[in-house]
Amino acid sequence: MKNTFVVDTNIIIRYLLADHAGQFRAAADFMSRVKSGDVNLFIPEGVIIECVYVLLKFYKVPKREIEDNLSGLLNYKGVVNPNRKILLQALRLFREKNVDIVDAVVYAISQEHGWTYFSFDKDFKKME
């Protein structure tokens, strides 16, 4: 079995933004191996959520670009997230319905499993 890696937020941010030359090269080399399926990568839910917040709040990246980039990563051949479908749905809801990413993840989880969500947040009405 291939090695499976787990990354933190800064690897993905440096890869997507290419704003630190040395770190970008290392992240890009690694991600090309993931993209081709030479290595496996698990991206924790929390890392995806933190990436969204960093890209949106600190770097002012538009929601469409955030969704496109993170969805693209989740679809790399070597990505082995068992909850990939939920994360992709959450990213789509985040952009299309203009909701908070955490609310989108909670809603996507409830829909995937046929569960009922419970929240006081008004974002959930946008997703129904």
Instruction: With beta carbons less than 8 A apart as the criterion, state whether 61 and 101 touch.
Output: no
Q: What is the pLDDT of residues 56-111, one digit of tens each?
A: 999 999 999 999 999 999 999 999 999 999 999 999 999 999 999 999 999 999 99
| Dihedral sign computed on CA atoms, order 97, 76, 42, 55 | negative
Both structure tokens of 15? 């890869």
pLDDT band, residue 2 (cuts 50/70/90): low
Residue 65 has a pLDDT of 98
Does 1 have pLDDT greater than 90?
Answer: no
**What amino acid is encoded at 115 in this protein?**
W
Of residues 6, 97, 111, 5, the one with CA closest to residue 48:
6
107 or 128, higher pLDDT? 107
What is d(CA 101, CA 95) in angstroms, rounded to the nearest whole number? 9
Give domain 4-127's CATH architecture. 3-Layer(aba) Sandwich (3.40)
Residues sharing a CB contact under 8 Å with residue 89, sequence separation 6 or more, in sequence order? 104, 108, 111, 112
What's the Rg (C-alpha) of the chain? 15
The CA distance from 63 to 55, in Å, is 9
Q: What is the mean pLDDT of the chain?
A: 96
**Predicted pLDDT of residue 42:** 97
